[in-house]
Amino acid sequence: MNKKLKALLCSGLVFTATAMPAAYASVYNSDTDTNADLLDYIENDRREARSSFLTEEQKQLVRDALEMRKNLRDPLDPTKNVPVAVEGDDLVYDQRNGDFSATGKVKITTLDAQRFQSEHSDGNLVQNEINVPGKGHMLQMTPDQAKIILDGYRTQYNYGTKIGHMEDVNGKVDHQYIKAKRIELYPDKIIAYDGYMTKCSAANPDYRCTASMIEIYPNDKMICYDMKFWLGSIPVYSTKKKTFKLNGEDGSQQLPKIGHNKDDGLWLSKDFRYYLTHNLSLYTNWKFTTKHHFRNNASIIWDNTLGTFELTTGYFEGHDHVWLKKSPSFLYSKSIRVGHTPYTLGFSYERGSWSQKNTHSMHTYYGLGLSRDAIDLGGNHKLYLSTSYSITKESANTSDVKGFGYTAILRRHVDNRWAYYALYSFSQANSKNTLFDFDLDSYSRKIAAGVSYRLDNSNRFVVGSAFDASTHKLQDMDVYWFHDMHCYQLITRYRVKRHEVAFTLQFNPW
């Protein structure tokens, strides 16, 4: 269990804003003391939407393929050729051998959602062959295959065997933009020669990977040979062979983030996650700051039906940029649905060596939480309720902080522009009565509220605030600005009470 979840359990909260798909290129998590992370789902949903965006011609191809299937006169015979529709201004078809020739706005559509467009095409419908001697445009929306949009020349393709090739190509394969001298298409893979891959859609990408050969296995992996990574026109590094996972289980495709804040100075950060087996993974975070130099951490994580087991070591940074060292620490967490009820029971445990400045202690934590599924109040209002009991023990001062906590959250997604939240919580543990000041408020009773407003497709603002419910004083206020620029995103955070500005810059995280 990570530190963030532990802090939530301390405050009586067992809550996930939204279930994030594993294929996310990058999940956004707010750096906040105002519970503004309750609106993180907006940014993550937007990233997922951009990652899986379909053009109008892709949507139309899916509709046309479904319409073809509806209009079949006889049941589909898997032993016969794939049905295909050929359109053009001038069509010639030889029924004796299946040869065809088409000119003028040619459109060839197969039943399994492939389409070829050109000014001239010929081939053989008996042998499932298509030839485009000049410029051609290819679309593929076949289920369980790569989503393809390609423009190229001298195309030869067999839509029965799914084998073909195209030269002088540029376009998109799934989430990657591609340019290559030649592409070969196979049922299980795509091979590109002398080209590059990037997630930047610009004609001159801000970043790209060039290679003599790129093998793409959809939803599995991508292998680059003689690879060079470029930022603009500047080569950054090269390697003879590099494999990227494409199934969401490897963060090596994500580029480093760079940013600046008062406590760390200028920083550079990169996450890695490698699956050693199906449920055993290695996670590392590398971070360099100009004020603290290298502050890295690593974890071995094992997920199974019994729960999540984690062994972690290294430096961890809290929301207030307070650093904590674990050397090492063992964590366990498990969530269980209570029968057929809307309730979930969560248990968490951590024991390990913690250090902060000159304080060293054997830290032990137990947390038991009960949360309820969202209650629909109507008008897009969702109410989340949870309670917990936690015990925190420290060997350094023999402290024992324990007690109940509870949280109530009201959240509303008004429309595509507006969303807001309100929170009331109580936590027995706070930074004044615990040995370590790490991801804890300095008060126990908390009121938090915030709002998100999308100005346009490139700009969104979030304001979050937190109050000490006992004194009714404003404790924190954060203002976030999310700004998309070309192929990268700038996230600016202004801490109003502290008059501090921080920013994070990253290339397309989707």
Pair (381, 422) in one structural domain: yes
Strand-pairing partners, residue 353, are 362
Pair (15, 85) in one structural domain: no
Indicate if the pLDDT at residue 98 is higher than 50: yes
Cβ atoms within 10 Å, residue 16: 13
Q: 205 and 177 in contact (C-beta within 8 Å)?
A: yes
Strand-pairing partners, residue 63, are none
Indicate if the pLDDT at residue 13 is higher than 60: no
Using alpha carbons only, give the angle 287, 293, 296 rounded to the nearest 5 degrees.
Answer: 35
The residue among 163, 143, 164 whose CA lies nearest residue 155 is 164
Pair (74, 38) in one structural domain: no
Cα(41)–Cα(34) distance, rounded to whole angstroms?
16
Cα(137)–Cα(156) distance, rounded to whole angstroms?
12
Pair (264, 170) in one structural domain: no
Cis peptide before 235 (omega within 30 of 0): no
Pair (25, 142) in one structural domain: no
Q: What's the chain's average pLDDT?
A: 89
The number of domains in the chain is: 2
Helix (H, G, I), strand (E, B) or coil at 432: coil
Strand-pairing partners, residue 478, are 464, 495
User: What value does the mean pLDDT take over residues 257-267?
Assistant: 95
The residue among 139, 142, 119, 123 whose CA lies nearest residue 131 is 123
pTM of the model: 0.85
Strand-pairing partners, residue 480, are 462, 493
Indicate if the pLDDT at residue 164 is higher than 90: yes
pLDDT digits (tens, 9 = 90+) for 276-314: 888 999 999 999 999 999 999 999 999 999 999 999 999
Pair (257, 401) in one structural domain: yes
Dihedral sign, CA of 289, 496, 26, 306?
positive
Indicate if the pLDDT at residue 18 is higher than 60: no
Which tokens belong to 432?
């004044």
The number of C-alpha atoms within 13 Å of 288 and in the hemisphere containing its C-beta is 4
Which of 172, 196, 220 is the C-terminal boundary of a domain? 196
Pair (80, 25) in one structural domain: no
330 in any annotated domain: no
- Domain range holding 125? 56-196
Cα(346)–Cα(367) distance, rounded to whole angstroms?
8
Domain with residue 127: its CATH number is 2.60.450.10
Cα(485)–Cα(409) distance, rounded to whole angstroms?
33
4 or 413, which is more confident? 413
Helix (H, G, I), strand (E, B) or coil at 64: helix
The residue among 281, 339, 279 whose CA lies nearest residue 304 is 279
Which of 177, 196, 215 is the C-terminal boundary of a domain? 196
Indicate if the pLDDT at residue 19 is higher than 50: no
Strand-pairing partners, residue 43, are none
421 in any annotated domain: yes
